[in-house]
Chain A
Amino acid sequence: MADNKTKKEKSPVVLFVAEEKEPLLSKKNRKLLSDPLDDNNPITVQVLGICSALAITVQLKPAVVMAIAVMAVMAFANVIVSLIRNLIPNRIRIIVQLVVVAALVILVDQVLKAFAYDVSKELSVFVGLIITNCIVMGRLEAFALGNGVWKSFLDGIGNAAGYGLILIIVAFFRELLGSGKLYGYEVLGHKGVTLAESTGLYALGYENNGLMLLSPAALLVVGVLIWVQRSRNRKLIEKN
């Protein structure tokens, strides 16, 4: 990779370089997609993007929408930065990445407001929060700056999927245990004001766990997830 970079520095105007003669979904490229789901998960292994994982996992619906929005922004940001990676001056590369991400997020926000007003209301502040998501910047810096367009695209999709997967799992448990619902539907029965008005589990005296609605609960769930993942996937355990 280092050789590749110095060689290309001589012709900084070349945007597309036919560097890979491999099939679009070769084994290596498939790994870019599958690695972040488990072995190299952004949240449970790299511990990136924890902030938003705490904030928006109270319910499944925002978690799903956020996962999709992050996927769109990451794929595009990775592609754009990868396209101009040989033009970006080294000393202001972080600023350039930030501008690309921020511009994309504002664009997504504006388009949603015009064409998908309800989705944009659902996301509210979280569209803006995508900018602060460490995974986006982390992948731009670590991958898109040194890799081709297609690979960067796959890396963006893969990491956003790994992030989204954890988000959805955490939101599943928090919404189920915290408010007895899944995707807004009352799966455990209806909780009335009195016991007699309740149905399902609530009629038996079941109570929702209010702790699951608060941010610390997300940390607990993520912690349990990391535990489960490591006991299943032994190579993630540190040697010493």
Chain B
Amino acid sequence: MKRDSNAYTFIFAAIMVLVVASALAIAATSLQPMQNENVRKEKMQNILMTIGIEVDREGAEEKFNEYIVEQIALTSEGEVDESVDAFKVDLAKELKKPVDQQRFPLYVAEVDSEKYYIIPLRGAGLWDAIWGYISLKDDINTIKGAVFDHKGETPGLGAEITQSWFEERFAEEKIMNDNGEFAGVSVVKGYSGGNAKDDNAVDAISGATITGDGVTDMISDRLRYYLPYLQKQNVEVALK
């Protein structure tokens, strides 16, 4: 058959597509379990990192089970939904649902008899999704630590939100303003507050304004749904 005939071209294209598609399908399905395992353990690592515990990927599961004492899924009203496994809640899917159908996963950790509440975050950066975890001390006001990650922010600019020097700026910040109202933590351009921890703001990254705004929005949008439940917990603790 001539190499330039239509029939040869069609047959070649068909065989090529078959070979390539099956090779990719085999590779993707056979590697899937390992990839999922990596993602699962990374999630545990990130959750632990917000409360200041750094573990490597292999040891993540063990430490996670040791420190995380409760995993609960909340409704938007702050009620606990027992039917949902909090760790398996996929925020990317939840965010597409109406608020009253969403479930809000919350992790409760205990380290040296200190209690921490770890809240998963998800929002939009400049190019794609950004997400992270933020942990609150049991005064439901002070941030213990934060971890951020992103899908496709620009390296050197927006992608710097994953760096520890940026994440460290959130430690000890307050999420309530002076009047006790929820204010979140804003990433501010031209920040002049130095290391002040009581102004609900941290310094932004040069060249990453939109990613920074994404972080601000993500914190205020997600945290507010947890407050009813967390404050209820806090009152109960105070009454004891």
Contacts and interface: CB of A to CB of B under 8 A. Distances in A.
B24 A125 contact: no
B16 A125 contact: no
Contacts of A62: 155
Contacts of B238: none
B239 interface: no
A58 B28 contact: no
Contacts, number: 83
Given A62-B155, A111-B31, A90 B206 contact: no
Contacts of B16: 96, 99
Interface string B188-223: 000000110000000100110000000000000000
Interface in A85-120: 87-92, 95-96, 99-100, 103, 106-107, 110-111, 113-115, 117
B155 A56 contact: yes
The A interface is mostly helix, strand or loop, or mixed, namely: helix
Contact of B155 (A59, A89, A117): A59
Given A58-B155, A193-B194, A89 B12 contact: yes
Contact of B4 (A90, A95, A110, A125): A90
Interface residues of A, number: 37
Interface stretch (B34-42, B64-72, B93-101, B176-184): B34-42
B237 interface: no
Contact of B24 (A9, A103, A114, A175): A103
B42 A194 contact: no
Interface in A26-67: 55-56, 58-59, 62
A200 interface: no
B8 interface: yes
Interface string B20-64: 100110011001001100100010000000000000010000000
Contacts of A96: 12, 16
B152 A113 contact: no
Interface of B: 3-4, 8-9, 12-13, 16-17, 20, 23-24, 27-28, 31, 34-35, 38, 42, 57, 127, 150-152, 154-157, 159, 194-195, 203, 206-207
